């Protein structure tokens, strides 16, 4: 029998991006900012530990559930005033109409 430990599965930036529903470049920015640990391959490419990524991913719904428990009304209606870091404010012009008005 082989008693050597199994290597931990690693994910590419594209695989991590798919799990979080973000662009792969965003995953790279997270690694640069220290929010996610990256392992470099011999060719210089980034890989991410699957266990760390799954742990981060598992923490997201719990945070939303906790917010919903404290104020259920806020969980149902997205707050239009929330702006993600690095995102420019969005201005809707007169051309933005609802489906009922079309």
The pTM of this model reads 0.56
- What are the φ and ψ backbone dihedral angles of 24, each rounded to 5 degrees? -55, -30
Distance between CA atoms of 71 and 68, rounded to whole angstroms?
5
pLDDT over 50 at 76, yes or no: no
% residues pLDDT > 70 (the chain):
56
Topology given in CATH for the domain delimited by 7-72: Multidrug-efflux Transporter Regulator; Chain: A; Domain 2 (1.10.1660)
User: Strand, coil or helix: what is 40?
Assistant: strand
**In 3-state terms, what secondary structure has residue 56?**
helix
In the predicted structure, residue 84 carries a pLDDT above the cut 60: no
The Cα–Cα gap between 61 and 65 comes to 6
Confidence (pLDDT) at 97: 45
Reported confidence tier of residue 69, pLDDT bands at 50, 70, 90: low
Residue spans per domain, the chain: 7-72
Mean pLDDT of 65-91: 51
């Amino acid at each position: 029998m082989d008693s050597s430990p199994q290597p931990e599965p690693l994910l590419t930036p594209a695989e991590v991006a798919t799990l979080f529903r973000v662009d792969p470049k965003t995953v790279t920015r997270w690694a640069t900012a220290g929010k996610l640990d990256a392992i470099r391959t011999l060719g210089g490419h980034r890989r991410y530990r699957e266990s760390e990524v799954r742990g981060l991913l598992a923490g997201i719904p719990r945070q939303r559930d906790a917010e919903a428990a404290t104020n259920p009304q806020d969980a149902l209606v997205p707050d239009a005033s929330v702006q993600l870091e690095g995102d420019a404010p969005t201005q809707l012009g007169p051309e933005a109409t609802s489906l009922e008005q079309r």
